[in-house]
Amino acid sequence: MFPESSNVTWYSYEDCKVTADWLLSYTSVRPLVGIVCGSGLGGLADMLKDQQVINYNDIPNFPQSTVHGHAGKLVFGTLKGKACVCMQGRFHLYEGYPIQKTTMPIRVFKLMGVQTMILTNAAGGLNQDFTVGDIMVIKDHINIPGFAGNNPLVGPNDERFGVRFPCMSDAYDRGLQQLAHDVAAELGFSAFMREGVYSVLGGPSFETIAECRMLRLLGADAVGMSTVPEVIIARHCGMRVFALSLITNQAVMDYDSEKKANHEEVLETGKQRAKDLEKLVSTMVSRVELDNNTLQ
């Protein structure tokens, strides 16, 4: 076990390479696809064949997952013949980690050879046309913590990872978005497939009614506490990104409503829709051509 240094707030290229090299020495898998599982969605990792599982607390430099519904394991294996690494449990600002720490695994994945990142999350639905159990393909995001300077790229920039000022207008790969819709149509999932803008907040408290109304006015369709920092780092590193939200609860928008958001509802919805989401992602992975980043 490798002790976590409490005074480390960001990781250098060399730090990430130490972790990547350690993982590459541990597993024979050379992953080309990285998958991050959101709350209650860890079953995606269970789909991998010939699994090699590593606990986060055994990995040098790795943060530890502290949230119920996040297992805290790195799973290597193949999915539909593609070499993958899957995070069963991610890291969040509300756990007390600096934002550079929460995104460190994405850089490690890059150094291990990952070309495409698939990120999932549980989110509250702001769009009143959405219902609980819908799957939203993320086409764009609103980075509220970033407005206050809480961006994972704050600090020294290492050109070996990416440029100082990366573009985010193309953060979510349009080819992969289209693939998701095509696959959903084939699987008969179109009735609960949506597309929209995801807004991230710091958490861990759920949003007030006024905050939900504000986010909807800004153009957000769903709100959550993750994903966006990982997307920023993945794009900074030049990886393709696809992300989706499972709408696990309806955000409360009415002062007369008796509804209250709670984490148990999030996990329960994840359990109910998990198989469909797993089928969607695994079918997508089977069709991604990774050598030259084109679709089959």
Q: Does the annotation mark 286 as catalytic? A: no
d(CA 23, CA 114): 13
Q: Which of 11, 20, 56, 92 is catalytic?
A: 92
Q: Does the annotation mark 249 as catalytic? A: yes
Kindly report the number of other CB atoms within 10 A of residue 260's CB atom: 9
Q: Does the annotation mark 68 as catalytic? A: no
Q: Does the annotation mark 95 as catalytic? A: yes
Q: Does the annotation mark 168 as catalytic? A: no
d(CA 290, CA 241): 13
Q: Does the annotation mark 205 as catalytic? A: no
Q: Does the annotation mark 92 as catalytic? A: yes
Query: What region, left, alpha or beta, does residue 96 occupy, with left being phi > 0 and alpha being psi -120 to 50 degrees?
Result: left
> Are residues 280 and 180 in contact, defined by beta-carbon separation less than 8 angstroms?
yes
Strand locations in 89-185 (E): 116-125, 135-143
Q: Does the annotation mark 181 as catalytic? A: no
Q: Does the annotation mark 55 as catalytic? A: no
Q: Which of 4, 55, 57, 94 is catalytic?
A: 94
Q: Does the annotation mark 11 as catalytic? A: no
Q: Which of 225, 234, 251, 274 is catalytic?
A: 225
Q: Which of 4, 55, 263, 268 is catalytic?
A: 263
Q: Which of 26, 57, 71, 95 is catalytic?
A: 95
Strand locations in 80-192 (E): 82-88, 116-125, 135-143
Q: Which of 20, 39, 243, 278 is catalytic?
A: 39
Q: Which of 226, 236, 239, 278 is catalytic?
A: 226
Q: Which of 171, 249, 251, 274 is catalytic?
A: 249
Q: Which of 83, 104, 117, 122 is catalytic?
A: 122
Tokens of 107: 């850089």
Kindly list the catalytic residues: 39, 70, 92, 94-95, 122, 225-226, 249, 263
